[in-house]
């Protein structure tokens, strides 16, 4: 018991000695001094309110200069966000994908070719048919902008005019007149003076109409095959056998013999020239 109390007493003495040593060390350290001259020099070098106003005035004085880099980046990322809509609604993609869907429906193959293959074929046919327009955009908009010949706004205007020119070649006059009338504006002297907010919906409606007309024409030969097969099965008394199952191989053979995919791609491409 005495040994334990002695050990505890020695431990307390050691703790007190360590405390005294740390306090003495802190007392001997010099206190930091503040250099008033340095603080005055820092405050003198700091920009004043008049200097900041001068910088702002210089930055906003010339409003005719090109847009700043953050604004350009915001516009570029915004354009990338709406790029799928532009691709679908302002190019030949709409007509091509609708016609290809009609062909698959007329063949009664349901999911053959698969949807991803239909969209892929429509995408590459769109790139093929839109190559002249894209080349013109590159010549009058992208390359002059990259060489600092025109500013960003002029480049966007030139690109929009190229797309508008392509759409106006495909639009039916009745559809364009309908949207001009709905907008309650006076018919302009030049067709290129019509805004994109009128040209784009008129182009979409025209593409829907043209695509459905082509689809109806494509349905007729396959419908005749279905009628012939149904008549044969009915006359033979084979009522339990689905006519679609029998007519499907004949429609596929007919489509392959006439080189249907080649004719279809050729007709769709020539339709935009």
**What per-residue string of b and e applies to 125-140 under the rule 16 or more CB within 10 Å gives b?**
bbeebbeebbebbeeb
Task: State percent of the chain over pLDDT 90.
Answer: 4
pLDDT given for residue 205 in this prediction:
92
- Are 94 and 207 a contacting pair, CB within 8 Å? yes
Strand residue runs (E) in 109-158: none
> Which of 25-29, 138-142, 220-224, 235-239 is predicted least confidently?
25-29
Number of C-beta neighbours around residue 235 at 10 A: 8
Write down the domain spans for the chain: 69-218+261-271
pLDDT given for residue 67 in this prediction:
60
**Higher-pLDDT residue of 68, 200:** 200
pTM over 0.85: no
pLDDT given for residue 68 in this prediction:
65
Mean pLDDT of the chain: 75
The model's pLDDT over 49-80, given as tens digits with 9 standing for 90+, comes to 444 345 444 444 444 455 667 776 777 777 77
pLDDT given for residue 144 in this prediction:
84
- Are 204 and 94 a contacting pair, CB within 8 Å? yes
């Amino acid at each position: 018991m005495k040994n334990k109390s002695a050990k505890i007493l020695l431990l307390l003495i050691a703790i007190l000695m360590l405390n005294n040593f740390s306090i003495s060390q802190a007392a001997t350290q010099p206190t930091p001094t503040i250099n008033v001259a340095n603080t005055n020099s820092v405050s003198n070098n700091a920009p004043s309110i008049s200097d900041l106003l001068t910088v702002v005035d210089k930055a906003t004085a010339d409003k005719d200069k090109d847009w700043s880099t953050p604004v350009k980046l915001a516009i570029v990322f915004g354009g990338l966000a709406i790029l799928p809509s532009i691709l679908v609604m302002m190019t030949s993609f709409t007509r091509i994908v609708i016609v290809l869907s009609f062909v698959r429906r007329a063949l009664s193959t349901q999911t053959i070719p698969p949807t991803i293959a239909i969209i892929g074929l429509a995408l590459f046919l769109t790139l093929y048919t839109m190559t002249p327009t894209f080349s013109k955009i590159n010549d009058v908009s992208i390359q002059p902008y990259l060489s600092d010949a025109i500013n960003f706004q002029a480049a966007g205007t030139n690109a929009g005019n190229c797309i508008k020119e392509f759409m106006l070649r495909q639009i039916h006059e009745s559809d364009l007149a309908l949207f001009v009338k709905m907008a309650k504006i006076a018919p302009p002297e030049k067709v290129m003076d019509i805004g994109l907010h009128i040209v784009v919906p008129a182009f979409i409606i025209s593409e829907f109409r043209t695509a459905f007309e082509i689809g109806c024409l494509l349905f007729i030969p396959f419908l005749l095959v279905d009628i012939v097969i149904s008549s044969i099965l009915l006359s033979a008394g084979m009522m339990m056998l689905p006519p679609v199952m029998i007519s499907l191989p004949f429609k596929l053979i007919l489509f392959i013999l006439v080189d249907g995919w080649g004719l279809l791609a050729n007709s769709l491409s020539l339709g935009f020239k």
